[in-house]
Structure 1
Amino acid sequence: MAQPRIELATMNHHYMFYDLDDFFANAQKLGYPCVELWTSPQHFFMDYRQNDPIERLSHLIDEYGIRIHGICPEQCNPKPHNMAAKDASIQERTLAYFTRAVDVAKSVGATQVLVTSGWAYYNEPVETARERSATMLKQVARYAGEQDINLAIEALRAPESRIANTVADLNLLLSMVDEPALKVCLDIGAMVSAGNTIQEYFDTFGPKMIHAHYVDTGERSLHLALGDGERDIATDILTFEQNGYQGVLSVECTDSATLTDPMAADARSMATYLSAYEKIEAARA
């Protein structure tokens, strides 16, 4: 029996100048089995008090036959919700925002919510901000666990944040939070920026590795469509397989060059993925 392929998912970040229906329609056309939904206000609005009707997403799931694997809430500076917020009122809004994201994920049949460490002020000790981040993550993770939803935390690049840039930083933060619902997302761009490798992530986190923002990287960007950069996609996928990875590979393309034609970028990603698997499976035969 042939070994099942790791599923490829796409995200809607590079569809910011297109309707969400176009995103789902193109994902179906290209054969993507699932998507990761970035909560762009123009696609699916969500803040700490409210969100667009869930029925909008349920309709798209039914119409196009594509599941939503996870929710990726907006959360990087200068967005208003910061896991490491210092101000009590921002902390209150942040907790309400991420618990709402968990509720949205559960309502659409998703299994996870993407989170980050948040960010520190540059004129404060990073350790102080990391403590605040761990405190907030613990609260959100505890709620997520009660709803049978996982949190998948990814590293951020400097200067986005100083709290969790490397494998070691993430491992420290996870140990501080110590909640079973908090898992790990490997973001290839952040990984490359930090000088880590896919294997280092698996060696450190093992089965906690439940998600990947899988992209190509090159001189122009660390979040390219597959095939637009310099990575050996087949070798990368094989590394995921050899470590027993059970998640999906979610293409988080944020390359501004793809904004006018995100459909073509998604087609390149799918073609590169299929070509990589043909190479992998030919070597097994």
Structure 2
Amino acid sequence: MNHHYMFYDLDDFFANAQKLGYPCVELWTSPQHFFMDYRQNDPIERLSHLIDEYGIRIHGICPEQCNPKPHNMAAKDASIQERTLAYFTRAVDVAKSVGATQVLVTSGWAYYNEPVETARERSATMLKQVARYAGEQDINLAIEALRAPESRIANTVADLNLLLSMVDEPALKVCLDIGAMVSAGNTIQEYFDTFGPKMIHAHYVDTGERSLHLALGDGERDIATDILTFEQNGYQGVLSVECTDSATLTDPMAADARSMATYLSAYEKIEAARA
């Protein structure tokens, strides 16, 4: 994922992904990389050129959507709701145009001076509309939990499960965000036990005191054990390294190299144990 490349060109991100052997990427719609709002987006040809030049497919689109970004799934104001629907349906169209299979979404956020249940109802209503459109386009939505205080609507496995039941649309699936999972005190296995085949994506990171979204190997998690848990549950999705650690902003290429090296080393450890 290109979040930590915010001070580099998008070309650098694709070039480094190719160099390090990443087969696909998740595209965060940073305005400096690929601008998109509810009315317009940069030419799709820009992304198509990068896909062709580097042989790297775009697996999913991750639109900007956390407060104070203007597009809130749980927006109260009717005009913001209208813009939010236009924004996320546009993201679905962009995903389809570049051959991606999913769009990353969240619950949006509630105001602190209102019952969270009220905001959750608004979130479910908007998610239902976006998911219905996505399903018509053969695109999945992958919803991740948010950490407190980012949002109060869906922080835990139980929160996400409630929201999915309220939306009740087949195109709405689940993204396991390791950072949000650790913050909520949940586990990878709890996600699989609750959501099963609805688990189609993971923001796969290391965690530590400095950040809950570190490059692999920069934190304290047992990466081999995590990989085995995904494997033992028959996971078929992508593990997307969503590094948002500010310490990596000056050299994101090195961070991605550490992530890939740690990942491959963990697999060597797994295979050695099986021998």
- TM-score normalized with structure 2 length: 1.00
Alignment map for 1:52-201 (pairs within 5 Å): 52-201=42-191
Q: Which whole-Å deviations, capped at 9, do the CAs of 1:207-261 have from their partners, x for residues lacking one?
A: 0000000000000000000000000000000000000001010000000000000
Q: Secondary structure at the match of 1:36?
A: strand
Which structure would you say has the larger RCO, counting Cα contacts within 8 Å and 6 or more residues apart?
1
Structure 1 residues 34-77: Cα deviation after superposition (integer angstroms, max 9, x where no partner): 00000000000000000000000000000000000000000000
The answer on 1:21 being equivalent to 2:11 is yes
Q: Secondary structure at the match of 1:68?
A: strand
CA deviations over 1:70-98 (Å, ceiling 9, x no partner): 00000000000000000000000000000
SS in 2 for 1:184: strand
Pairwise CA distance, 1:283: 1.6
Displacement, 1:282? Answer: 1.6
Matched pairs, number: 275
Extract unaligned runs of 5+ from structure 1: 1-10
- Whether 2:268 is the aligned partner of 1:278: answer yes
Tell me how large the CA RMSD over aligned residues is. Answer: 0.3
- Segments of 5+ residues of structure 2 without an aligned counterpart are none
Alignment partners' CA distance in 1, 2:11 and 2:189: 37
| Alpha-carbon distance in structure 2 between the residues aligned to 1:146 and 1:282 | 45
Alpha-carbon displacement from aligned partner over 1:167-217 (angstroms, at most 9, x marks no partner): 000000000000000000000000000000000000000000000000000
What CA deviation, in whole Å up to 9, does each residue of 1:115-153 have, x standing for no partner? 000000000000000000000000000000000000000
Cα shift at 1:284: 1.9
**1:281 shift after superposition:** 1.3
**Secondary structure, aligned partner of 1:211:** strand
Identity across the alignment (%): 100
**SS of alignment partner, residue 131 of structure 1:** helix
**CA–CA separation in structure 2 for the residues paired with 1:79 and 1:252:** 19
Name the CA distance, whole Å, in 2 between partners of 1:278 and 1:105. Answer: 34
Structure 1 segments, 4+ long, off by >3 Å, are: none
Within 1, Cα distance between the matches of 2:270 and 2:104?
A: 29
